[in-house]
Amino acid sequence: MAEHTTGHTSSAEMGCGTSEAVLEPVLETRRLTVTAGAETILRDVNLAVPARSVYGLIGPSGAGKSTLLKCLNRLVDLQPLLRVEGEVRFQGRSLRDGTLHPDDLRVRIGMLFQQPVVFPGSIQHNVVFGVRRQTGVRRRDLPGIAESALREAALWDEVKDRLRKPAATLSVGQQQRLSLARALASRPEVLLMDEPTSALDPRSTRAIEELVRELKERHTIVLVTHDLGQAQRVSDWLGCLCLQDGAGELLETACCAELLESPKCQAVADFLRQSGGRTEA
Amino acid sequence: MRRWLDRAVVVGTGTCVLVACGVLLLLVLAIASRGLPALSWSFLTEEMSRGGAAGGIAYNLVGTLILIATAAIVCTPLAVGTALTHGFYLRSRAARRRLELVLYALNGIPSILFGIFGLIVFVGFLGWGKSWLSGGILLALVMLPTVTVAMIERIDALPRSHIEAAVALGLSESEVVRRVILPESAGALVTGLLLGLARVAGETAPILFTATVFAGATLPTGVRESPVLSLPYHVFVLAQDSFDPAVSRTVWGTATVLLLLVIGLSAVALPLRLRIHDEARHG
């Protein structure tokens, strides 16, 4: 089992001394290619995300990190001009084999966006916004679900006395944790985070990072970040997407420390150097 | 020179505002000064008598309310459906442009043509004769572009992130429509309805051949051969055909009631719209 790989990487290849049980990937992509007309956005991406870990996706702007993330929960389907080829597998099942409806998939793979999204309505309304629709969830269960999700997102103490107040009155950092609570309320197995701290101040950023570290005990997390320091602080694994001939390719994936300390691929080393990370290749 | 130009622009734009507001003010004053003396409880609650020279406009007022209420009821689902199709379901830009073209073309159709259309379809083909329902449907068609475009603009302005976040939570398309798009565009629907109703409340041409008569109707009891009296047609007939000086009191009084109805619609709808807008933003 290789500890450090470049190019196409399978779960079995991602070692770093971790046991086989942990390495069983929750999410996988196989030769994932995304095109928009004649333009290729992602090319032949092979990704494997082990369970109960934080998988950081780094790379320059425009390399297709967010697009890759949206392929993992089929949010890319909202963009009809994009064509997706290859395979994405969740817990061993292909997302497009017809057995898992996209809406059900998205309940199990939650997502946190770059900017906090607050729906019109109260704080509690926002937390249970997604979970309300789920079968088996009764109206009287909602306050308990909201409390549990807010506690998990470390927001309960700050909002417990104003759950009926408009969510828009929260600070941006609180709104992002509210968005996280909303995603957590559906009890997803995987959380996709698309630069979740890019709009936040350092204090809120630290709070989110702390949460990510705690949440990986119960969830698998895929985190897109531009901040190498953040990637280093919270990620167990790193994948680096770089532009090759105009298309994003996953050039290297490895344990976080290894990829940052000793990248094998020259393009990755160049990216790390330009971003203020390590320079050796 | 530049300062002079700046001042000229300010004076020019200010003059435009004054002219626009001044015309509106003059119109309101001209009607109200002649019509207000005619207004009384009995004028609003009594039936017309002596060909409009005496009595009140009770059934004209009720008839107009029936027509615009029907128009609002018919128009709302059509406008919502069309706006959702445009803003959510149609993926092709070309198809959306074609739908916009149809709406703008519909908006440009002279209202008398709606009347002719109603005469052929409702009065003739369906055999309804003059009917309040024909009038309501035709007025709904007249106001449809106004309401739809107001909603389309709001849906287009909705944050894309809200829809994306809702889908990411596992909401189906219909749930996104019901729980994100409709609540967040309800204010535009109210505004559009207000504008549309204010327009059609005074329309005469679409109901001329299809829904209204000058006298002899009270409350509708069915659909076929069931016309209503109406305020705009009352003004139209009395102002055109009557040589009785006593009628002018009724004409101005009716016109004032029509004006107050439109202003009243705005007065009710504007706070409602602001409340919905506020709720949509802050909960």
Could you tell me if residue A245 is left (phi over 0), alpha (psi between -120 and 50 degrees) or otherwise beta? left
Q: What is the pLDDT of residues A20-37, one digit of tens each?
A: 444 679 999 999 999 999
Q: What is the pLDDT of residues A116-174, one digit of tens each?
A: 999 989 999 999 999 887 777 888 889 999 999 999 898 999 999 999 999 999 999 99
pTM of the model: 0.81
Q: Which residues of A236-275 are buried (b: 16+ CB within 10 A; e: fewer)?
A: bbbbbbbbeeebbbbbbbbbbebbbeebbbebbbebbeeb
Is the CATH code 3.90.550.10 the one for domain B48-282? no
B176 shares contact with chain A (CB less than 8 Å): no
Distance (Å) from the alpha carbon of B93 to chain A's nearest alpha carbon = 12
Rounded to 10°, the helix A142-152/A172-185 angle is 120
Whether A120 sits inside 8 A of B183 (CB atoms) is yes
Element (H, E) at A41: strand A39-50
Among A103, A131, A176, pick the best mutation site for testing chain B contact (most B Cβ within 10 A).
A103
Nearest-by-CA chain A residue for B168: A106
Window 71-100 of B: residues touching A by CB (8 A cutoff) are 91
Q: Tens-of-pLDDT digits for all 283 residues of chain B?
A: 788 899 999 999 999 999 999 998 999 999 999 889 989 999 999 888 887 778 889 999 999 999 999 999 999 999 999 999 998 888 888 999 999 999 999 999 999 999 999 999 999 999 999 999 999 999 999 999 999 999 998 898 889 999 999 999 999 999 999 999 999 998 889 888 988 998 899 899 999 999 999 988 889 989 999 999 999 999 999 888 666 777 888 899 999 999 999 888 877 777 766 766 665 555 4
Cα end-to-end distance, chain A, whole Å: 21
Whether B162 sits inside 8 A of A117 (CB atoms) is yes
Among A67, A113, A118, pick the best mutation site for testing chain B contact (most B Cβ within 10 A).
A118
Whether B170 sits inside 8 A of A107 (CB atoms) is yes
Which residues from chain B sit within 8 angstroms of residue A117, using beta carbons? 159, 161-162, 164-165
CA pseudo-torsion sign A122, A224, A218, A76:
positive
Q: Where are the domains of chain A?
A: 4-118+187-274
Q: Which long-range contacts (CB under 8 A, 24 or more apart) does B28-35 make?
A: B28/B259, B31/B252, B31/B255, B31/B256, B31/B259, B32/B256, B32/B259, B34/B248, B34/B252, B34/B256, B35/B252, B35/B253, B35/B254, B35/B255, B35/B256, B35/B257, B35/B259
Q: Tell me which of 3.40.50.300, 3.40.220.10, 3.30.70.100, 3.40.50.720 is the CATH number of domain A4-118+187-274.
A: 3.40.50.300
Q: What are phi and psi of B80, to 5 degrees?
A: -65, -45
Cα end-to-end distance, chain B, whole Å: 51
Whether A168 sits inside 8 A of B283 (CB atoms) is yes
B6 shares contact with chain A (CB less than 8 Å): no
Distance (Å) from the alpha carbon of B150 to chain A's nearest alpha carbon = 20
